[in-house]
């Protein structure tokens, strides 16, 4: 080796590092030049033996050589490290390859949107059109037009958020007012489903939200009977919950339908035998329905001697909870990805 000839060492080093083709060989070369007993240590260790006048210059050149070695080693290291790892070795290029990358995750539709789409698809295959209405509604469309008079007790259950300064405007408490809007603007026959948000002054708990979603449906033509309602709802419910479920129509009261019925499906967990999911009843309440009240037909200007129709309304969150076995309605609006990713 060239004694104390720094330039000759540098040439030799550049040749050797050029030939290095593995991280291990690089490490060995690093030890050879920068190690405790390496070439650089020998060079700097020999400084005291040099004549006084040469020491500073020699020290400087040795230092430059050391920096050059470090630079070339780092560059070589960057070239030898495979893309993406190992994470504890920084690349010389200035790019920190150890930094976690950004993964662009594709999103998907919210389970409530998926449930609305599924329901609307089933009805559109049966010839229903899909219509939406405003969430700010008139008191008339939400109540009076639907045969719910001002002093009627059933109004309490969904008496709602009125808009300040606008006496007769409110956040709709159900999607039924779209019946009034649609029937006023369209002559029968008509068959419509209406998905949308509704608002109620309910305290939030595992089964209540002050804002939730409903789908309303209605059909008007000559000679429509309760059996038409039964047939349509049975097809619909079997499509959503499976062919094997049974349906049951229970007499009920709604001001805008006469007769009215609540519709239950057999509990899919106990198959009707009774379990904790259905409160030992064997049945789960799923929607409200009935024949459109003659007063409602009259309110929209239809001849109620000539036309008849049926209507139904259901809560989307409830359908989704029963379909997917979800026990807390609040999960739908918490934006917890661990929940949402399951759909």
Give the distance between the most distant pair of CA atoms in the chain: 124
- Residue 247 has φ and ψ, to the nearest 5°, of -120, 155
In the complex, minimum distance from the CB of residue 154 to ligand DAH, in angstroms, rounded to a whole number: 9
| Nearer residue to ligand DAH within complex by CB, 30 or 200 | 200
To which residue do tokens 């469309």 refer?
141
Distance, CA of 200 to CA of 203 (rounded, Å): 9
CA atoms within 13 A on the CB side of 315: 18
Distance, CA of 90 to CA of 68 (rounded, Å): 18
Q: Assign 199 to helix, strand or coil.
A: strand
In the complex, minimum distance from the CB of residue 258 to ligand DAH, in angstroms, rounded to a whole number: 10
CA atoms within 13 A on the CB side of 42: 13
Residue 255, interface with ligand DAH (CB under 6 A)? Answer: no
Q: Say whether the peptide bond before residue 11 is cis (omega within 30 degrees of 0).
A: no
Task: Tell me which of 311, 319, 329, 331 binds ligand DAH, using CB under 6 A.
Answer: 311
Task: Tell me which of 160, 289, 299, 308 binds ligand DAH, using CB under 6 A.
Answer: 289
Residue 199, interface with ligand DAH (CB under 6 A)? Answer: no
Can you read off the two tokens belonging to residue 95?
């790019």
Distance, CA of 55 to CA of 49 (rounded, Å): 9
Residue 309, interface with ligand DAH (CB under 6 A)? Answer: no
Give 265's contacts (C-beta < 8 A, 6+ positions apart): 237, 241, 245, 246, 247, 248, 283, 284, 286, 322
| Nearer residue to ligand DAH within complex by CB, 138 or 289 | 289
Task: Tell me which of 30, 76, 174, 213 binds ligand DAH, using CB under 6 A.
Answer: 174
Residue 264, interface with ligand DAH (CB under 6 A)? Answer: no
Residue 288, interface with ligand DAH (CB under 6 A)? Answer: yes
| Nearer residue to ligand DAH within complex by CB, 76 or 174 | 174
| Nearer residue to ligand DAH within complex by CB, 282 or 315 | 315
Task: Tell me which of 128, 302, 312, 332 binds ligand DAH, using CB under 6 A.
Answer: 312
Size of the site for ligand DAH (CB under 6 A): 11
In the complex, minimum distance from the CB of residue 257 to ligand DAH, in angstroms, rounded to a whole number: 4
Q: Assign 33 to helix, strand or coil.
A: helix
| Nearer residue to ligand DAH within complex by CB, 17 or 120 | 120
Residue 216, interface with ligand DAH (CB under 6 A)? Answer: yes
Residue 133, interface with ligand DAH (CB under 6 A)? Answer: no
In the complex, minimum distance from the CB of residue 177 to ligand DAH, in angstroms, rounded to a whole number: 9
Residue 254, interface with ligand DAH (CB under 6 A)? Answer: yes
Which region among 85-93, 106-114, 135-143, 283-291 touches ligand DAH (by CB under 6 A)?
283-291
CA atoms within 13 A on the CB side of 312: 27
- Phi-psi domain of 26 (left: phi exceeds 0; alpha: psi -120 through 50; beta: other): alpha
Which region among 97-105, 112-120, 204-212, 309-317 touches ligand DAH (by CB under 6 A)?
309-317
Measured CA distances, 337 to 96, 106, 242, 326, 334 (Å): 29, 13, 28, 15, 9
Q: Assign 250 to helix, strand or coil.
A: strand
| Nearer residue to ligand DAH within complex by CB, 229 or 267 | 229
In the complex, minimum distance from the CB of residue 137 to ligand DAH, in angstroms, rounded to a whole number: 12
Residue 176, interface with ligand DAH (CB under 6 A)? Answer: yes
| Nearer residue to ligand DAH within complex by CB, 233 or 267 | 233
Dihedral of CA atoms 163, 169, 171, 175 in degrees, nearest 10, equals 180
Which region among 50-58, 180-188, 232-240, 311-319 touches ligand DAH (by CB under 6 A)?
311-319
Q: Which residues bind ligand DAH (CB under 6 A)?
A: 174, 176, 216, 254, 257, 288-290, 311-313
């Amino acid at each position: 080796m060239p004694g104390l000839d720094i330039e000759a060492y540098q040439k030799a080093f550049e040749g050797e590092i050029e030939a290095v083709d593995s991280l291990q060989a690089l490490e060995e070369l690093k030890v050879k030049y920068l190690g405790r007993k390496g070439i650089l240590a020998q060079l700097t260790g020999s400084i005291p033996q040099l004549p006084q006048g040469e020491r500073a210059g020699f020290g400087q050149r040795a230092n430059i050589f050391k920096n050059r070695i470090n630079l070339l080693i780092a560059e070589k290291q960057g070239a030898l490290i495979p893309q993406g790892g190992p994470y504890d070795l920084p690349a010389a290029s200035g790019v920190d390859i150890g930094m976690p990358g950004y993964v662009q995750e594709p999103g998907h539709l919210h389970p409530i949107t998926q449930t609305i789409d599924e329901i609307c698809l089933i009805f559109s295959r049966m010839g229903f059109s899909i219509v939406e209405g405003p969430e700010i509604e008139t008191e008339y469309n939400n109540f009076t037009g639907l045969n719910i008079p001002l002093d009627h007790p059933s109004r309490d259950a969904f008496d709602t958020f009125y808009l300040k300064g606008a006496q007769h405007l409110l956040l709709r408490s159900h999607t039924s007012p779209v019946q009034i809007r649609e029937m006023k603007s369209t002559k029968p026959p008509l068959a419509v489903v209406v998905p949308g948000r509704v608002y109620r002054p309910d305290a939030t708990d595992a089964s209540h939200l002050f804002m939730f979603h409903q789908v309303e449906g209605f059909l008007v033509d000559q000679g429509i009977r309760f059996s038409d309602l039964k047939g349509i709802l049975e097809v619909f419910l079997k499509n959503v919950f499976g062919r094997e479920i049974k349906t049951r129509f229970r007499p009920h009261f709604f001001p805008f339908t006469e007769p009215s019925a609540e519709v239950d499906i057999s509990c899919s967990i106990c198959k009707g035998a009774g379990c904790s999911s259905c409160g030992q009843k064997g049945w789960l309440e799923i929607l409200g329905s009935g024949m459109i009240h003659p007063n409602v037909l009259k309110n929209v200007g239809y001849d109620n001697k000539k036309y008849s129709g049926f209507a139904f309304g259901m809560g989307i969150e409830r359908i989704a909870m029963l379909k997917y076995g979800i026990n807390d309605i609040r999960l739908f609006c918490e934006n917890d990805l661990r929940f949402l990713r399951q759909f």
